[in-house]
Amino acid sequence: MPEESIEHIDFDKLNERAISKPLVKHIFTADPSAHVFNGKIYIYPSHDVESGIPFDDLGSHFAMEDYHVVSMDSVTSEAIDNGVALHVDDVPWAEKQMWAPDAAHKDGKYYLYFPARGYDGIFKIGVAVGDTPEGPFVPQPEAIEGSYSIDPAVFEDEDGSYYMYFGGIWGGQLQKYRNNTYDKINEMPEPNEQALLPIIAKLTDDMLEFAEEPKEVQILDVNGKLLLEIDNNRRFFEASWVHKYSGKYYFSYSTGDTHFICYAIGDNPYGPFTYTGRILNPVVGWTSHHSICEVEGKWYLFYHDSSLSKGVTHLRSVKVAEITYNPDGSIVTLDPYKDRL
């Protein structure tokens, strides 16, 4: 729900009609990556702060500095803030903007993957290692070689392989890259050109680097054609996530300027993925970012909106709602508010 449409909203009424409530209210949290580790839910969100930086299309006002890990014994239990798990001052290569993170677990270690803007102004993706799911996490001295842009999401497949998906346009700088190479003269495709695609790379066994050259993830229409830039109700913008259901791989993402969480289905982690539908309709606030996690046999969408801050786009709150599947494997679209306002 873009900002220009929220000025007449009765937020008290909207919050009454919301399908879920903020999990934590003492800080602002966003971009939740949720996992079940050791039978407990751990959420790895961004930590929104009021920076005083003017709004722009590059997201300069999203000036997050650290990460807090939120834990829950169950979906209905109290959400616990475990404190600062990693601060930008602890990361030698990072200057600012600790945006949407993710986490993974392997062989008793926990890995926090995060984007940040380096001192050269360019986003890269780093990794920090901890002994417990809540951290603290110790960052590697350098960003992952070959990484770029934002929104890392790490998927563990059933064979024990781990894959990172990443990329985001506009402030996320994906439009500046072609074939994994940055050039400041690169810009967005023309409306009738193919839309920019998210990126995938398999991780090394130690979880600290890419095991291969990053590749594009194809998102196709039902006719097998790549989506065009003009198709901004369906094309990729940011916020990759992958989960597996009934033997299929579900690649979900945000459409950004049209504010949908959409998904596409494929037969392997690399795709191609065929666009299938929407998971979540627009929320209050410009951004929409999510994760999908199975908890005790049910599936849940972790997402955010700006209802607690009364529509301030960069002050968001993490929420959770159950999702359901139709017999054909499609996901029933969620409306974040019971009645549209």
- Residues annotated as catalytic are 31, 238
Residues linked to residue 199 through DSSP beta bridges, in sequence order: 166, 216
User: How many other C-beta atoms lie within 10 A of the C-beta of residue 246?
Assistant: 8
Structure tokens at 81: 């803030």
> CA 125, 25, 309 angle in degrees (round to 5)?
85
d(C-alpha 297, C-alpha 303), whole Å = 19
Residue that is written with structure tokens 């590749």 in the block: 215
d(C-alpha 226, C-alpha 222), whole Å = 10
Among 242, 219, 240, 336, residue whose Cα is nearest residue 294: 242
| Longest pairwise C-alpha distance within the chain | 52
Pairing of β 219-220 and β 273-280: parallel
Q: Using omega within 30 degrees of 0 as the cis cutoff, is the peptide bond preceding 136 cis?
A: yes
Q: Give how far the C-alpha of residue 120 lies from the chain's centroid of Cα atoms, to the nearest Å.
A: 24
CB 219 within 8 A of CB 235: yes
CB 159 within 8 A of CB 196: no
Residue 147 backbone dihedrals phi, psi, to 5 degrees = -85, 155
Compute the chain's Rg from CA coordinates.
18
